[in-house]
Amino acid sequence: MQFGNLLTSIVDGLLIGAVYGLAAMGLTLIWGVMNVINLAHGPLIALGMFSIYLLFSNFGLNPYLALLIAAFLGLIFGILIYFIAIQRVLGASHLSTLLATYSVNMIIIGIGTAIFTTTFRNVDYSLGNITFGPLTVLGTRAVAALLTFLIAGSLYLFLYRTRLGKYVRAVANNRAAAELMGIPSTQILALSFGIGTMLAILAGGLISTMLPFTILSGGAYELKSFVIGVLGGLGNPLGSLVGGLVLGLLEGIVPVFMPNTWVPVIEFVIFILILIVRPTGLFGVKK
Amino acid sequence: MVTKSLSTPTEGIAMILNVQGVTKRFGGLQALTNVTFDLPEGQILGLIGPNGAGKTTLFNVINGVYAPEAGQVIFRGRNMTGKKPYQLAKQGLARTHQVVRPLNELTVRENVIVGACFGRENHRLKQASKIAEEVLNFVGLGGKIDQLAGSLNITEKKRLEMARALAARPYLLLLDEVLAGLNPTEIEYMLNIIRQVRDGGITIIMIEHVMRAVMGVSDRIIVLDYGKQIAEGTPQEVSQDPRVIEAYLGDPKLAKKLMEE
Amino acid sequence: MKRLMNPGLWITLLIVVALGLWPTITRNAATRELVFTILLAIGFASSLNILLGYTGYVSFGHVVFYGLGGYIGMYLFKQYNSPLWIAVPAGGLAAGLLAFILGKSILHLRGGYFALVTIGVNEAMRAFINTLKPFGGPTGIELDFSVYKPYGGAANALWLVYYTAFGLALLFIIISFMIKTSKFGLGLLSIREDEDAAEVMGVIAPNLKTWAFVLSAILPGMLGVLFFFKNGNVEPGDAFRLGFSIENLVMIMLGGQGTVLGPVLGAIVYQRLRGLLLVSPLFKNIQLSVSGVLLLVIVLFIPVGAVGWLRNRFPRLRRVLP
């Protein structure tokens, strides 16, 4: 194994890992605010992929411009999902919220499969290669990672520097107390679900510029989001970015030393161990 | 700290519970500091003190919900410090909860059967069902036996808590504000039950805010304030203790009430 | 055994017997395949209900027991030419053992965390077996046609598998009923209602939960052996399909969690409905979406399921429908 190759796979892993982190951010935000494990997360990521694909292939839109439109639609779609499927089961048993979100999963996948079938698609868009000495990375990957940090930064500013963001954190912390202080919790919950959905759509959109996909591809990223969420602390969106980088690094390094098929084994064993020992995550705060 | 030792009047009598130097912290909050007392069999011990004094925390340490940072809980001669609630239950400790915790989707009878089945005597379902009927009649819930526990009103739920604890036929019963929220008639009814339980040989510790009641029924009283024992003795001794009056002075109404009663 | 004289149990058994004997009467292979799928669902859902409905723990990745059982069985068939009557219990035993180990390590997690970790366990197992050479890695294990010979050919073997599944489904419905009406079952129900309060009353929750988990895993393990034996091959993707777990959760919800009859009814209705949707030209392509809408309606509006709704509507039925 050459040093250059190892370096390339590490950097590649980190770049993709950042996007994984973005996907997980949406999942963990929703968990943190309303204690719901969103099992529709994967299909939402897939919808992000297909939004970019459709806007790019049919209307010739620049993928990054398409991303902006998709993000907005994602926000609206997420709020809709909240009012239709989530609101009524909030506070009910975990089975209810799990199955409610899973029903959304089934609906999206059912319609998606009927329309798009399960053949592979890709967004045929290139930004060339970027080379630093022995290191070569794809332009789309570099941009995807860059945008991820931008989005994560915006999310941070939103949560910690805006009134609305403070409301979100207040509702996450203690919904009843937030309501007593006059925070419209229903709207805030809906908005949070919308933002969580938007993040999934954005992540899917960025992935579509890097890798081929089908309508079912989101599932794998949903599982990765679980692992990352647990790594970074469920309910801690920014921990997800760190978790994503860790996972990406793992995926970059492990194949150098053992067969590729061991990657998911290691990922899920780590996932289980963290949940057993420290369910609040490695970087999570104790509730 | 401790005004009077409990050991003097009770020497030679079997101790059912020894609490020795129990200390419990929650983060920076010192919930219990060096709480120490012995409890002779067959008595009613009243545990009083202002809100947040650590009374329920003390119950939680005694029955194993929390492990203390320091100190020991010796129940019937065995060191039970840090043991689980079910281990204490099997040894003959039962309790009620300040905020009632009925098993809502089970019937009243089933709730009480759980107490009889899994408590000290480890009964089979059939015997447990008989015990449940007896106990439910005893606490006056005989008419509601096949209703869902979730459908009871709050007074009935308090009685259900009591019945569940009694069905275990415990040696020691911890009662956490079983009188709170009851009207005078209901309080009298419950006190009568408590006295009968004691006369049946069960030792009781009760946390109570209804002063007249707890003073009337208790053999001895311990007063907690900010997690410390500030007084103990007979009800008369305690009600005249200046430290107790001082502790309640933070709440003048309560102090006045205490003095009058 | 006086408590076995319960009309609710007999209604449930009667339904399953009638269903199970249907292919015997018609001697039709297509009917048998259809009913086999339903029996599989009845057995799996009834088992899962012991944990979900009685104990209140959501095992989302329960299919891991089915998949593991299937793999153990297939390995025994392939490597040791093992007969069905050894492979089936072996699959159940392996599943039970895994559940015991898991029970000791993950059942202290509550609510969503437990559901998540069961998903993780299933995915880890799938990924692990995908790398495991003796189990054939990603291509899995394929049986030779000759394994059916000792049973008098494939056709007979399929009937044998069918009747075994039928018998096991009946047995586990009885077991599920006996658990529910036992002291052990009462302990489980008290854990479901309020685990902390139950422990204060002396219920040794860690042990009871573990045994509930083990009991809920054994039949899925055995059914996995039967299914993949009939199937002739097993692959990681088929054996550990998360959707399979979730379908069974849906059946339990549909029929009524925590009741003996509920999962049985739910399994029958769900499988029939799915079959109808699959053959309808209108819904064939969006079968999954229609099921999704149906699930959502149930979760939102009748979360106690059909039997639960009946029990709430007519309290007298509580005695009749356990």
pLDDT-derived band at B137, boundaries 50, 70, 90: very high
% of chain B surpassing 70 pLDDT: 90
Chain C residues touching residue B63 (CB < 8 angstroms) = 200
Q: Does residue B222 fall inside a structural domain?
A: yes
Q: How many domains does chain B have?
A: 2
What is the percentage of chain A residues whose pLDDT exceeds 90?
Answer: 62
**Mean pLDDT across A189-200:** 96
pLDDT at A286 over 60: no
SS3 content of chain A, % helix, strand, coil (to 5): 75, 5, 20
B202: in domain: yes
Q: What is the mean pLDDT of residues C286-295?
A: 86
pLDDT > 90? residue B91:
yes
pLDDT > 90 fraction of chain B, expressed in percent and rounded: 67
Contact A223 C296 (CB under 8 A): no
Radius of gyration over alpha carbons of chain B, in Å? 18
Q: How sure is the predictor about B126, in pLDDT bands with cuts at 50, 70 and 90?
A: very high
The candidate with the shortest Cα–Cα distance to A120, out of A214, A53, A219, A47, is A214
DSSP state of B14: P
pLDDT at residue B14 is higher than 70: yes
Domain CATH code at residue C64? 1.10.3470
In the prediction, which pLDDT does B10 show? 46
The pLDDT value recorded for residue B1 is 39
With cut-offs at 50, 70 and 90, classify the pLDDT of residue B69. Answer: very high
Within a domain: B86:
yes
Report CB contact under 8 Å: B106, C193.
yes
Residue ending a domain, choose from B170, B185, B211: B170
**If you average pLDDT over residues C56-71, what whole number do you get?**
95
Query: To the nearest whole angstrom, how far is the Cα of B118 from the nearest Cα of chain C?
Result: 5
**Least trusted range by pLDDT, from A49-58, B190-199, B232-241:** B232-241
Q: What is the pLDDT of residue A68?
A: 95
Per-residue pLDDT, averaged over C27-45, amounts to: 93
Closest CA to C236 of C48, C45, C40, C64: C64
> Which residue do the tokens 């130097």 mark?
B21
Q: Which of B170, B194, B226 is the last residue of a domain?
A: B170
Residue B85 shares a structural domain with residue B119: no
Contacts of residue C6, Cβ cutoff 8 Å, sequence gap at least 6: C177, C181, C320, C322
Query: Which domain, by its residues, includes B164?
Result: 102-170
State which residue of chain C sits closest to B112, comparing Cα positions.
C201
Task: Look at residue B9 in the predicted model and tell me its pLDDT.
Answer: 46
Does B63 contact C199 at a Cβ distance shorter than 8 Å?
A: no
What average pLDDT is seen over chain C? Answer: 91
The 10s digit of each residue's pLDDT in B222-248 is: 999 889 998 899 988 888 888 887 777
What's the CATH code, domain A3-277? 1.10.3470
User: Which of A89, A111, A271 shows the shortest C-beta gap to C289?
Assistant: A111
C321: pLDDT strictly greater than 80: no
Tens digit of each residue's pLDDT (9 = 90 or more) over A61-105: 999 999 999 999 999 999 999 999 999 999 888 888 999 999 999
* pLDDT at position B5 over 50: no
> Shortest Cα distance from C69 to chain A (angstroms)?
19
Rounded Cα–Cα distance for residues C44 and C61 (Å): 13
Residues C62 and C246: their CA atoms lie apart, in Å, by 9
Check C186 against B85: CB less than 8 A apart: no
Q: List the single best residue of B98, B114, B125 to mutate versus C (max C Cβ within 10 A).
A: B114
Chain B contacts in chain C segment 189-248 (CB below 8 A): 189-190, 192-194, 196-205
pLDDT at C1: 59
Domain CATH number, residue B218: 3.40.50.300
Of residues C282 and B1, more confidently modeled: C282
Q: Which residue of C has its CA nearest to A96?
A: C299
B107: in domain: yes
Are A and B touching by the rule of 3+ CB pairs within 8 Å?
Answer: no
Considering the domain architecture, whether residues B86 and B12 belong to the same structural domain is answered as yes
Helices (H), chain B: 7-10, 55-62, 85-91, 108-118, 125-139, 154-167, 184-199, 211-217, 235-240, 242-249, 252-260
Cα torsion A93, A94, A100, A102 to 10°: value is -160
- pLDDT value at A231 more than 70: yes
Residue A281, pLDDT score: 66
What are the boundaries of each domain within chain A?
3-277
Residues B159 and B109 in one domain: yes
Contact B86 C203 (CB under 8 A): yes
Report how far apart, in Å, the C-alpha atoms of C105 and of each of A258, C63, C113 are. Answer: 28, 18, 13
pLDDT tens digits, C144-178: 888 898 888 888 999 999 999 999 999 999 999 99
- Measure CB to CB from residue C292 to each of A94, A107, A268 and give the nearest one: A107
Cα–Cα dist B37/A104, whole Å: 59
Residues B12 and B77 in one domain: yes
Are the beta carbons of A264 and C130 separated by less than 8 Å? Answer: yes
Pick from C201, C259, C304, C314 the residue to mutate for testing the B interface (most B CBs within 10 Å): C201
* Mean pLDDT lowest among A197-211, B93-107, B245-259: B245-259
In Å, how far from its chain's centre is CA C104? 21
CA distance A2 to A220: 30
pLDDT for B260 = 58
Query: What is the rounded radius of gyration, in angstroms, for the C-alpha atoms of chain A?
Result: 19
Beta-strand pair B15-26/B70-75: antiparallel
Q: Is the pLDDT assigned to residue B255 strictly greater than 90?
A: no
**Exposed e or buried b per residue across C244-272, where buried means at least 16 C-beta atoms within 10 angstroms of its C-beta:** bbbbbbbbbbbbbbbbbbbbbbbbbebbe
Across the range A46-60, mean pLDDT stands at 94
Q: Is the pLDDT of residue A211 over 70?
A: yes
Taking only residues 112 to 141 of chain B, the set having a beta carbon closer than 8 angstroms to any beta carbon of chain C reads 113-115, 117-120, 124-125, 128
Domain that holds residue C157: 2-320
For the cut 60, the answer to whether the pLDDT of residue B171 exceeds it is yes
Q: Which two tokens stand for residue C55?
A: 């104990």
CB contact under 8 A, A276 and C112: no
Q: Per-residue pLDDT tens for A100-132? A: 999 999 999 999 999 998 889 988 888 888 887
**Cβ-contact B14, B41 below 8 angstroms:** yes
Give the separation between CA A29 and CA B208, rounded to whole angstroms: 43
Task: Using the predicted structure, report yes or no on whether residue C39 has a pLDDT greater than 80.
Answer: yes
**Are B181 and B229 in the same domain?**
yes
Touch criterion met for A and C (3+ Cβ pairs within 8 Å): yes
Kindly indicate the confidence band of residue B6, based on its pLDDT and cuts at 50, 70 and 90. very low
Identify the pLDDT of residue B253.
Answer: 64
- Residue in B with minimal Cα distance to C308: B105
Query: What DSSP element (H or E) covers B94?
Result: strand B93-95
Tokens at residue A173, please?
A: 């912390």
Q: Are residues B163 and B177 in the same domain?
A: no
Contact B86 C193 (CB under 8 A): no
Structure confidence at residue C275 (pLDDT) = 84
Last residue of a domain, one of B146, B170, B194: B170
Is residue B227 in a domain? yes
In tens, the pLDDT along C175-195 reads: 999 999 999 999 999 999 999
DSSP assignment of B95-140: E--SS----TTSBHHHHHHHHHHHSTT---HHHHHHHHHHHHHHHT
C181 vs A: CB within 8 A: no
pLDDT for the residue numbered B13: 65
**What are the distances in angstroms from CA B87 to CA B38, B115, B205, C182?**
21, 14, 19, 22
Q: Provide the pLDDT confidence category of residue B256 given band limits of 50, 70 and 90.
A: low
User: What's the total number of domains in chain C?
Assistant: 1
- What's the whole-number mean pLDDT along residues A212-240? 89
